[in-house]
Amino acid sequence: MDNLFLLSFIAAIISFFITPLIRKAAYRYGVLDIPRDKRKIHRKPIPLLGGLAIYIPFIILVVAKAGVINRSEWGIILGGLIIVIGGVLDDKWELRPCQKLLFQLMASIVLIIMGLRIEMITNPFGSLVPYIDIGFLSIPFTVIWVIGITNAFNLIDGLDGLAAGIALISTLTILLIAIMKERIGAAYLTAILSGAIAGFLPYNFNPASIFLGDTGAQLLGFLLAAISIEGAIKSATIFSIIVPIFIIGIPIFDTLFAIVRRKINGKPIMQADRGHLHHRLLDMGLTQKQAVLVMYVISIALSILAIVSIQIDSSVAYYLLTFIILTIILVCWKLGFFKHRE
């Protein structure tokens, strides 16, 4: 246990001290987020590449924590590297969606090649057959899961400290569950990741002096998606989709609502709009800090539900998830979240 806190602390220190260096490099090489449309909240160029301040300490400490790195950890390291390369290119030259998807697909395939895939899930319909072997569907299921969560975090990265803060809450929740369930591999990975995020967040919270960029937002989504699978495999248990859906609830629901909203209104799915939750909160009169803190509270509430769900029967947990989803849909419908806004 002491080693987990030590690794987290060291990761935070490394991240805190290298972030100014990465910010300076971003200015030097012109990797900046320049506001060109009304969706942008900031009004002056802000350096990107903040994800490097998270990836670098994460890699250093994952390698340093033990003499031998197992295959699944190599998969996470190499897959993360692919995401970072694609993110850096996108931050500098703005890649097309299909090009970004290609990097995400390659990273997902690396995980699968290294043995990190979702092969069985909990059965919501009874105790006689508690687990479902998804067989050949394990590959597309894993790819969809990883790419979906990667893009979900990228889509919510719209306010100072939003994506990084929610990722920190999600990571700490996975860490707590990993400790409770004695999932040592996932505990080490999340301890290191939480420290790296915590060291970066002071520079990213409003008013931000550096952004995650696609480098960081996609990396956080990828790492959380991969670690949620790693935790199941390392403990020789079955992947329960309920827990990560609660833990990463805000990015998942916000992304799904964006897809539904655009389809309902006859807009292309990839067309950006001002309909995301953080935009709605700003339109209600909240400041950036207030909107971010509201979303932190929602994320914490969903994380508490994730912890509750592992303590109860899986079928009851599925009923709980269904109830929460229907409640969220009803509230968002009443508040007009499915109406299109340019």
Write the pLDDT tens digit of every residue in 213-251. 999 999 999 999 999 887 654 443 344 567 788 888 888
pLDDT computed for residue 240 by the predictor: 57
Q: pLDDT above 90 covers what percent of the chain?
A: 49
Q: Parallel, antiparallel, or unpaired: how do β-strands 46-47 and 131-133 relate?
A: unpaired
Q: How confident is the model at residue 230, as a pLDDT?
A: 76
> Does pLDDT of 192 surpass 60?
yes
* Residue listed under structure tokens 């509230």: 331
Helix or strand holding residue 46 (H, E): strand 46-47
Question: How confident is the model over 163-171, as a mean pLDDT?
Answer: 95
Residue 341's pLDDT is 59
Confidence at residue 253, expressed as pLDDT on a 0 to 100 scale: 86
**Is residue 146 within 8 Å of residue 140, measured between CB atoms?**
no
Asked if 174 and 186 count as a contact pair (C-beta separation under 8 A), the reply is yes
- Using DSSP, state whether 269 is helix, strand or coil: coil
Of 199-208, 224-233, 252-261, least confident by mean pLDDT is 224-233
| Higher per-residue confidence, 330 vs 81 | 81
- Give the integer Cα–Cα distance in Å for 285 and 166: 21
Q: Mean pLDDT over residues 316-324, rounded?
A: 82
| 93: Cα within 13 Å, side-chain hemisphere | 7
> Which is more confident, 341 or 195?
195
Q: Is the pLDDT of residue 79 over 80?
A: yes
Q: What is the mean pLDDT of the chain?
A: 86
pLDDT of 167 strictly over 50? yes
Phi, psi of 62 (to 5 degrees): -65, -40
pLDDT tens for residues 18-59? Answer: 999 999 999 999 999 988 666 666 678 999 999 999 999 999
Residue type, 184: I
